[in-house]
Structure 1
Amino acid sequence: MGYHPTYLDHFIKTQNFILRGDGPLPYDYRHYIAIMAAGRHQCSYLISLQKQEFIIQGGDQNWLKGLNFIPQKLRNLYDINQILAHRPWLLTKHHIEKLTKSGKDSWSLAEVVQAIVILAHFHSLCSFVFSCGVNQEVDQEGAYRYYSEKMKEMEAECSAAQGLPPNMQNHHRSDWKNASSRGPPSPTIEPEVAIVDLMQRMKRLSEQTQECTPIELAKRFENIETQSAEIGVVGAEPHDTPADITCFVEKPNFTYQDFAKRSDQKNISTFRVQDYSWDDHGFSTVNRLYNDVGNLLDDKFKTAYNLTYYTMGGRTDVDTSRFRRAIWNYIQCLLGIRHDDYDYGEINTLLERSLKTFIKSACCYPERVTKKDYDRVLREFKHSEKVHVNLMVLEARMQGELLYSMRTISQYMTRS
């Protein structure tokens, strides 16, 4: 995130506030909720960090043995945790009612909102962590090692093949090591649309004057939604959950389901931003029940969405707004969220299949994404630009989870 200091500032302020600032939940609860959230995506990196924070805040170390050792009040939150992580459209006011009317273990609405913000924050942060190729620090088990002994052997062979004298090999080593994390493009990787062609496509879209009818816009959304269900994800089938994570996970087989293939299509309709948006509804709901957090979240969302340096690869003075909007709206389309005023036909024009596959994986199955997957996509783009794409995955996903949850809480409050 340090590539984007303006965003990083907003991110740190928000994370510090939800974990250490004013709020109804005890500090140990906050960090344990973060552990529960990271557990849904098997993110050992975040779980390890939050375990340390939990202990620092005086948390009961018995709780770290797993969900069977925590208070019932925290256990009651787990259904919402897994629904928000994988299928947020399944959240109903009955889930909120169950939390707030469970006797001595009841949650206040303010506590529920803070817990949901923490859950959404860490679900989405898992997407960022995995999509950037981060696993554990190198001194921890399961670490991603950028510079292994095998690499040393390979570099020695490379140096010898090029006939470099011994006194030049150390100099060559640093250059090779910097390039090694990128690696040469695999011949099996499908060719990508060149940046110059992508810029031409954006230019053509900006020059179009013909507007689509609302019916046509709806059809184009449905087309993208259906296509997204046909796109696979990176990686193999999910592997067994590591033992030190299993204790924090219930129903590990409950994972993302393509919205277009949802089992209850009659009762679960597309989430239309025209009817419930972050700016007009979600922001005020979260701010009303959890003072000040709405402002922090809003600043963070807008910074990630509007962030631009007017560059694309080595090109400068590029208006990237259409490309950024296509990425943001595609992410939320995966969650069944439709922006009524957007022409979803632009997504197929600007986002090729390999990028869609990466985005879907990072958003919906982050635990399957590896550093290799990160390296294989957007190969003409700068590292900082690829990180920006991952930031949009983080923020668009988080906003999607909050839209569903704040709408559900509004419905619950209206009914109550």
Structure 2
Amino acid sequence: MALLKTGEQCWSLAELVQAVVLLAHCHALCSFVFGSGADVDPPQTPRVPLGTPPGTPRRRSLDSSCEVACLRERIQKAQEEKERRGERLLNSQNLLYTDVDEEDELVCAADPSRFDSDPAFGYQEFARREEDHFQVFRVQDYSWEDHGFSLANRLYSDIGHLLDDRFRKVAALPSPRGPDLKRAIWNYIHCMFGIRYDDYDYGEVNQLLERGLKLYIKSVTCFPDATKGPLCPLPWAPLKPAEKVHINVLIMEARLQAELLYALRAITQYMIA
């Protein structure tokens, strides 16, 4: 909460909530993009002109006035480009050192590591932490419905309604394998972030989620950037396309809500301190 301290660079609570919402969306979308394969460009099929059988080369003619005009235009542009190259060649010596400085600035600007104050920051296994450092986030003590929604709506106008509408729509989505599996996936994702539901039997997670599916969910949820590397392929191949999209939507929304719960609870504690 150092950003809220008084000073020239201080933030308001509304600005902080807006930043938290943006960051949470960015993190959640990373999981969806990498998990669903949306970052892979689909193979492009060659375009076949209308009326031309596949595999038949299209004959072009320069008899039409349109194509002759286009050819003249290309020749003129080539001549103009040649003249511009000559002018740039004359000025290249004067701009040599300036170009080097600009390249250095571009390289520096393209390196995001200088903005990272904690390179080792990342996901930590909640289940493997020492008990002294691990405190369970109980939904009964702070939930989206009873606490997060009202605070977000109060500090960031209407965002609470928009987010709540998203969560409700995801909860109402028909699950290909039944509502029990959907709830198990949602609670398993929250469990990986240390969020627990007192009224849920977590034994159902192991009963309903196969080991391969759990590995897939954990990879996409906690390490989405590593799923594309050769050392960490996605381990759950039998998913159908519809099931894969459905699970990745659940991952995206559950991760979004988990991050919002932690951030909004911290803001609440700051406000009442």
- What is the TM-score with the length of structure 2 in the denominator? 0.70
3-state SS of 1:266 partner: coil
The one-letter amino acid paired with 1:253 is A
Match of 1:276 in 2: 142
Q: Any idea what the Cα deviations from partners look like across 1:44-100, whole Å, max 9, x if unmatched?
A: xxxxxxxxxxxxxxxxxxxxxxxxxxxxxxxxxxxxxxxxxxxxxxxxxxxx2x111
SS in 1 for 2:127: helix
Q: Aligned to 2:165, what secondary structure does the other structure show?
A: helix
Question: Tell me, which stretches of 5 or more residues in structure 1 are unaligned?
Answer: 1-95, 136-143, 149-166, 170-242, 313-319
Partner of 2:187: 329
Matching of residues 200-279 of structure 1 within 5 Å: 244-262=111-129, 265-266=131-132, 268-279=134-145
Match of 2:77 in 1: none
Assess, with a 3 A threshold, how the Cα gap between structure 1 residues 385 and 371 changes in structure 2: closer, same or farther. farther
1:409 aligns with 2:239: no
Q: Percent identity?
A: 51
Farther-moved stretch of structure 1 (286-295 vs 244-253): 244-253
Whether 2:244 is the aligned partner of 1:377: answer no
Distance 1:255 1:394 in 2: 18
What is the correspondence of 1:36-55 to structure 2 with a 5 Å cutoff? Answer: none
Residue 127 of structure 1 aligns to a residue whose secondary structure is helix
- Given that residues 128 and 391 in structure 1 are in contact (C-alpha distance below 8 angstroms), is that contact kept between their aligned partners in structure 2? yes
2-structure distance, mates of 1:350, 1:100: 44
Runs of 4+ that moved beyond 6 A: none
Amino acid at match of 1:281: H
Q: Distance in 2 between matches of 1:128 and 1:289?
A: 27
Q: What does residue 182 of structure 1 align with?
A: none
Q: 1:371 offset after TM fit, Å? A: 9.7
Once the two structures are superposed, the pairs formed by residues 346-357 of structure 1 within 5 Å of their partners are 346-357=204-215
Greater RCO (Cα-Cα under 8 Å, separation 6 or more): 2
Shift of 1:291: 1.1
2:162 to 290, 296, 318: 296
Conserved? CA contact 2:153–2:161, under 8 Å: yes
Alignment of 1:124 with 2:31, yes or no, is: no
Note the 1:3-22 alignment, pairs <5 A. none
Alpha carbons 1:133, 1:369 under 8 Å: kept: no
Equivalent AA in structure 2 for residue 387 of structure 1: V
TM-score normalised per structure 1: 0.47
Read off the aligned partner of 2:123 and give its amino acid letter.
Answer: Y
Counterpart Cα distance in 1 of 2:23 and 2:241: 28
Query: Which sections of structure 2, spanning at least 5 residues, go unmatched?
Result: 45-52, 56-109
Q: Cα distance, 1:306 vs. partner? A: 2.4
The worse-fitting range, judged by mean Cα deviation, of 247-256 and 324-333 is: 247-256
- Cα distance between partner residues in 2 of 1:255 and 1:269: 18
Whether the 8 Å CA contact 2:126–2:134 is kept in 1: the answer is: no
CA distance in 2 between counterparts of 1:383 and 1:281 reads: 36
**Secondary structure of 1:260 counterpart:** coil
- Classify 1:121/1:145 alpha carbon distance in 2 versus 1 (closer, same or farther; 3 Å): closer
Contact persistence 1:133–1:371 (CA under 8 A): no
8 Å Cα contact 1:378-1:386 kept in structure 2: no
Deviation digits for residues 328-361 of structure 1 (CA, Å, limit 9, x no counterpart): 0000000000011111000000111111111111
- Paired amino acid for 2:236: V
- Aligned in 2, Cα 1:356/1:311: closer, same or farther, shift over 3 Å? closer
Structure 2 residue aligned with 1:228: none
Q: 2:199 aligns with which of 325, 341, 345?
A: 341
Residue 66 of structure 2 corresponds to which residue in structure 1? none
Whether contact under 8 Å (1:130, 1:369) holds in the other structure is yes
Shift of residue 393, structure 1, vs aligned partner: 0.5
Q: Which whole-Å CA distance do the structure 2 matches of 1:256 and 1:126 have between them?
A: 14
Distance 1:249 1:134 in 2: 27
Aligned residues: CA RMSD = 2.6
Matched residues in 1 for 2:112 and 2:148: separation? Answer: 32
Separation in 1 of the partners of 2:176 and 2:191?
A: 26
